[in-house]
């Protein structure tokens, strides 16, 4: 009898614990949309919309919740603690792959201009010609950024064949540069912006890159973030969409001020870079993503 009592006590305790762990708070019942973000300058439309009251103009009340990493924001979305979260494509795909029954959908994209950029480590004071013999990280052997750079280097009389290229994912380039494992990185403009903020120097930049190869497929190349939604009423999703599109139309200076206000990212560093823009999902991307795209049902 006593043993049974203990069993029941344990069961009650376990139930309470599991319920506590998985406790799902009511989602947006009070009409406030909770948005998970990571405070990066690449989310300019979001900050502009907040700063200039565009959400209110579209009849939305929003609450920004900042997370340390996009995976944290992803978990918050899964657990129902935010209604909208901005995640980079790779993480979004992982989340959607693993939790396809959780009802998470892609409702929009935040894009950043492509721009082949070469960033050298802060302690190096060199010119393009000095790169020969140094180690440079690039996305992949067949990356469009690399071929563009090699082409441009040739024009400046630099033999790109004498540069040691190592191939790694964009996300790992900045840590490698910080650790001194490479002397320079050849990357997209969005990463170059972050690298520059760490004190590294931009040596070369070409905005005339046309994406579209195996390494950077055209429909995905310029996507920095997906806007993921879960259990959000369609009118709110449409409102978000409208507000962010409107925010993307505002002058770049407004965006830069909003970014500085929300992320403490200095204005000076943003000069010379375009700002991120919110876009609806294009036809090609919609085909590629299939079921994952939010359709309003």
Partner 1 sequence: MDRKLTYETKGLNLVLKELSAFFTGIAKNNFTVEFFTVFVPIIILWEALPRLGVVPPTLVPPPSVVAETFWDLLVNHDLIGHVGISLLRFFLGLAVAIVTAIPIGILMGWNMFLRRHALPLFQILAPIPSPAWVPITIILLGIGLPMQVFLVFLGVFYPVLFDTYQGVKDTDPRYIASARVFGASELTLIKRVYLPNALSFIVMGVKIGIALGLVMLIVSEMVGAHSGIGWLLVESKDFFRIDRMVACMLTLGFIGWFLIEVMKYIEIKLALWKVGR
18 vs 166, which CB is nearer to partner 1? Answer: 18
Of 16-24, 129-137, 235-243, 277-285, which part binds partner 1 (CB under 8 A)? 16-24
Residue 1 contacts partner 1 per CB under 8 A: no
HSE, side-chain direction, 13 A CA sphere, residue 283 = 0
102 vs 160, which CB is nearer to partner 1? Answer: 102
Name the residue among 258, 190, 282, 234 with its Cα closest to residue 46.
258
95 vs 153, which CB is nearer to partner 1? Answer: 95
Does residue 117 contact residue 184 with C-beta atoms inside 8 Å? Answer: no
Name the residue among 62, 25, 44, 14 with its Cα closest to residue 225.
44
Q: What angle do CA 235, 239, 245 make, to 5 degrees?
A: 145
Residue 179 contacts partner 1 per CB under 8 A: yes
In whole angstroms, what is the distance from residue 229 CA to residue 30 CA?
17
Report residue 114 as tokens.
């492509």
In whole angstroms, what is the distance from residue 119 CA to residue 186 CA?
6
Residue 166 contacts partner 1 per CB under 8 A: no
- Find the binding residues for partner 1 in span 25-84 (CB under 8 A): 71, 74-75, 78-79
Does residue 109 contact residue 227 with C-beta atoms inside 8 Å? Answer: yes
Of 2-10, 52-60, 120-128, 275-283, which part binds partner 1 (CB under 8 A)? 2-10
Alpha-helix residue ranges (DSSP H) falling in the chain: 2-21, 44-51, 54-57, 70-78, 89-98, 144-155, 170-178, 189-197, 218-221, 234-248, 252-263, 267-270, 283-289
Q: Tell the smallest beta-carbon distance from residue 180 to partner 1 (Å).
A: 10
Residue 24 contacts partner 1 per CB under 8 A: yes
Give the count of residues interacting with partner 1 (CB under 8 A): 28
- Residue 188 has a CB neighbour count (10 Å cut-off) of 24
102 vs 242, which CB is nearer to partner 1? Answer: 102
Residue 8 contacts partner 1 per CB under 8 A: yes
Residue 169 contacts partner 1 per CB under 8 A: no
179 vs 214, which CB is nearer to partner 1? Answer: 179
Residue 280 contacts partner 1 per CB under 8 A: no
For residue 4, what are the CA distances in angstroms to 7, 10, 11, 25, 270? 5, 10, 10, 33, 67
Q: Tell the smallest beta-carbon distance from residue 17 to partner 1 (Å).
A: 9
Looking at 14, 32, 169, 210, which residue binds partner 1 (CB under 8 A)? Answer: 14
91 vs 277, which CB is nearer to partner 1? Answer: 91
Q: Tell the smallest beta-carbon distance from residue 14 to partner 1 (Å).
A: 4
Looking at 37, 91, 105, 277, which residue binds partner 1 (CB under 8 A)? Answer: 91
Looking at 56, 63, 98, 253, which residue binds partner 1 (CB under 8 A)? Answer: 98
Q: Tell the smallest beta-carbon distance from residue 22 to partner 1 (Å).
A: 4
User: What does DSSP say about strands 61-66 and 32-37: parallel, antiparallel, or unpaired?
Assistant: parallel
HEC string for 91-120: HHHHHHHHCCCCCEEEEEEEECCCCEEEEE
Residue 6 contacts partner 1 per CB under 8 A: yes
- Residue 140 has a CB neighbour count (10 Å cut-off) of 16
- Interface positions with partner 1 (CB under 8 A): 3, 6-8, 10-11, 13-15, 18-19, 21-22, 24, 71, 74-75, 78-79, 91, 94-95, 97-99, 101-102, 179
């Amino acid at each position: 009898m006593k043993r049974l009592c203990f069993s029941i006590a344990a069961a009650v305790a376990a139930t309470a614990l599991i319920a506590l762990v998985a406790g799902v708070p009511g989602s947006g019942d009070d009409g406030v949309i909770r948005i998970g973000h990571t405070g990066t300058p690449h989310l300019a439309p979001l900050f502009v919309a907040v700063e200039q009251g565009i959400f209110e103009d579209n009849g939305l009340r929003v609450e920004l919740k900042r997370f340390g990493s996009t995976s944290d924001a992803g978990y918050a979305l899964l657990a129902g603690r935010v209604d909208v979260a901005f995640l980079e494509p790779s993480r979004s795909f992982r989340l959607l792959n693993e939790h396809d029954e959780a009802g998470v959908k892609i409702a929009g994209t935040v894009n950043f201009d492509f721009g082949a950029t070469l960033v050298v480590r802060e302690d190096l004071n060199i010119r393009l010609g000095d790169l020969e013999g140094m180690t440079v990280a690039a996305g992949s052997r067949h990356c469009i950024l690399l071929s563009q750079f090699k082409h441009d280097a040739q024009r400046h009389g630099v033999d790109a064949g004498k540069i040691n290229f190592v191939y790694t994912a964009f996300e790992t380039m900045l840590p490698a540069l910080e650790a001194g494992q490479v002397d320079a990185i050849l990357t997209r403009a969005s990463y170059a912006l972050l690298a520059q903020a760490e004190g590294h120097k931009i040596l070369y930049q070409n905005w005339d890159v046309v994406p579209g190869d195996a390494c950077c497929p055209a429909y995905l190349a310029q996507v920095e973030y997906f806007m993921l939604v879960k259990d959000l009423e369609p009118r709110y999703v449409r409102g978000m969409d409208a507000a962010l599109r409107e925010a993307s139309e505002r002058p770049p200076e407004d965006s830069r001020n909003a970014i500085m206000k929300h992320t403490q990212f200095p204005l000076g560093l943003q000069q010379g870079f375009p700002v991120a823009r919110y876009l609806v999902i294009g036809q090609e991307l919609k085909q590629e993503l299939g079921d994952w795209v939010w359709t309003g049902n």
